Structure 1
Amino acid sequence: MSQTVDRALSILPLLAEGPAGLDQVARRLDVHKSTALRLLRTLHAHGLVHRQQDQRYRLGAALFALAQQAMESLDIREIAHPHLVALNEATGHTVHLAVHEQGEVVYIDKVDSRYPVRMYSRVGRPVAITVAAVAKLLLADLPEPERRALAERLEYPRYTPGSTPDAAAFLAELARVREQGWAQDLGGHEESINCVGAPIRGPDGRVCAAMSISAPNVVVTAEELLRLRPQVLRTAEAISRELSGTAPAGPANSP
């Protein structure tokens, strides 16, 4: 990278800390003020920095627009899929990916298990929002007023004796999920199916998707499935890092 480009790019992290004057920029770059001013003018011409009335510089609107455009162009499913396949190959169990859209939690990807028993879930189909691990993860990240309002307007079907009974129990479960950083559904939707999930975070640190691993208890017990939690968390963290651009592509699990 040329020295000029390197210096110009070094200004952006400085301004991300807050507005800075010409002297401060020059000191941080260890250059003469005339050099710092030339770099700032170039960035200003492209809208990447903005000069305030007090003559200090801050990040420009064009930079935020580029960041937003980049985030919107990310395909979570495309990025996550190789990681989901790797976890499936390492464990043999069904792996799901889900997002929260328009008040529903919907599966957007699924890798089936290699054993004969198949789960009813389908890509594009909403999940059982009050019991599914992926739903708990996505809703737990909502601000508290939104969580409470949502919990109070939901219905609570009794799929099994282990289903969430009411809003108070659901809010308590979401608080627990938010604190521990993972979720489970042990027979809450189908008595014979257990599930462990982990959150996927976007560049802004918010939970933008959730993934889970599921298996019938005729294949593995709930305790055995829970022992796979570290692998599930590693997979979700690897997807999050790749989605945020902080790690190279490549699955965290291998067979």
Structure 2
Amino acid sequence: MSQTVDRALRILPLLAEGPANLEQVATRLDVHKSTALRLLRTLHEHGMVYRQEDQRYRLGARLFALAQQAMETLDVREIAHPHLLALNEKIGHTIHLAVYEEGEVVYIDKVESRYPVRMYSRIGKPVAITVAAVAKLLLADLPEAERRSIAERLEYPKYTAKSTPDAAAFLTELLRVREQGWATDLGGHEESINCVGAPIRGADGRIAAAMSVSAPNVVVTADELLKLRPLILRTAEAISREYSGNTVSKDTP
């Protein structure tokens, strides 16, 4: 990277901390004021920074517009898929990726189990919203008033004896999921199928998608599947870092 480009890029994180004057920018870059001024003028011409009336500089509207445009064009499925494949190679179980759209939680990707027993699910199909781990994660991230509104207008089919019985129980479960940062469906939809889910977050920290690992009891028990939770969470965090553009490593408890 050229020295000029490097210096210009270093100005942006500085201004992200708050407005700064020419002297502050020059000091941070360890350059003469004339050099700092030339860089700031170039960035100003392109809308990346803005000079205020008090002669301090702040980030410009063009930069925010570009960031928003970039976020809108990101495809979480494209980013997540290699990670889901890698996880499937390690554990062999079915993996789903889902998003919340227009009142439904829908699968947008699936990696099949390598075991003979397969799950009946397909991309584009809505999930059982009151019991699915991915649905719990996506709804748990919504504001409280919206969570309550959704919970109160849902129906609660009794798929199994472990299915969520009513809105009160569902809201309690969503609060637990929100606090712990992961979710399960242990026989709530099908008695023989267990599932552990983890959130995928965007740059704003909100949950943009959710992934889950599912397996039948004949392959692994619920306790055995739950032991994979740290690995599932690490995979979700790796996807989140790439999706949000945050490449800083973070340990998973």
TM-score by length of 2: 0.94
Could you say which residue in structure 2 is the equivalent of 1:182? 182
Look up the SS of the partner of 1:58 in the other structure.
Answer: strand
The Cα offsets for residues 189-219 of structure 1, whole Å up to 9 and x where unpaired, read as: 1111100010111222211111000011121
Could you say which residue in structure 2 is the equivalent of 1:112? 112
What pairs with 1:23-102 in structure 2 (closer than 5 Å)? 23-102=23-102
Distance (Å, rounded) in 2 between the aligned partners of 1:247 and 1:192: 38
Displacement of 1:153: 1.8
Could you say which residue in structure 1 is the equivalent of 2:229? 229
Displacement of 1:87: 1.4
What pairs with 1:214-253 in structure 2 (closer than 5 Å)? 214-247=214-247
Instruction: State how many pairs are aligned.
Output: 248
Displacement of 1:29: 1.5
Distance (Å, rounded) in 1 between the aligned partners of 2:54 and 2:149: 44
Distance (Å, rounded) in 2 between the aligned partners of 1:157 and 1:8: 58
Q: CA RMSD in A?
A: 1.4
State the one-letter code of the partner of 2:90. Answer: A
Could you say which residue in structure 1 is the equivalent of 2:251? none
Displacement of 1:97: 0.4
Displacement of 1:245: 2.9
Displacement of 1:69: 1.4
Distance (Å, rounded) in 2 between the aligned partners of 1:126 and 1:162: 20
CA contact (8 A) 2:160 2:190 kept: yes
Distance (Å, rounded) in 1 between the aligned partners of 2:67 and 2:126: 30
Could you say which residue in structure 2 is the equivalent of 1:140? 140
Displacement of 1:185: 0.3
The Cα offsets for residues 90-141 of structure 1, whole Å up to 9 and x where unpaired, read as: 1111100001111111000011112222211110000011110001111111
CA contact (8 A) 2:49 2:59 kept: yes
* Gap runs ≥5 in structure 1: 249-255
Distance (Å, rounded) in 1 between the aligned partners of 2:106 and 2:223: 27
Could you say which residue in structure 2 is the equivalent of 1:153? 153
Distance (Å, rounded) in 1 between the aligned partners of 2:59 and 2:181: 33
State the one-letter code of the partner of 2:228. Answer: L
State the one-letter code of the partner of 2:57. Answer: Y
Look up the SS of the partner of 2:147 in the other structure.
Answer: helix
CA contact (8 A) 2:134 2:210 kept: yes
The Cα offsets for residues 169-191 of structure 1, whole Å up to 9 and x where unpaired, read as: 11111111111111000011111
Distance (Å, rounded) in 2 between the aligned partners of 1:3 and 1:84: 39
Distance (Å, rounded) in 2 between the aligned partners of 1:54 and 1:98: 48
Could you say which residue in structure 2 is the equivalent of 1:252? none
Could you say which residue in structure 2 is the equivalent of 1:3? 3
The Cα offsets for residues 6-31 of structure 1, whole Å up to 9 and x where unpaired, read as: 11111100111111222221222222
Q: Does residue 206 of the first structure (1) align with residue 213 of the second (2)?
A: no
Larger RCO: Structure 1 or Structure 2 (Cα < 8 Å, ≥ 6 residues apart)?
Answer: 1
* Gap runs ≥5 in structure 2: 249-253
Distance (Å, rounded) in 2 between the aligned partners of 1:103 and 1:17: 37
TM-score by length of 1: 0.93
CA contact (8 A) 2:203 2:246 kept: no
Look up the SS of the partner of 2:55 in the other structure.
Answer: coil
Could you say which residue in structure 2 is the equivalent of 1:253? none
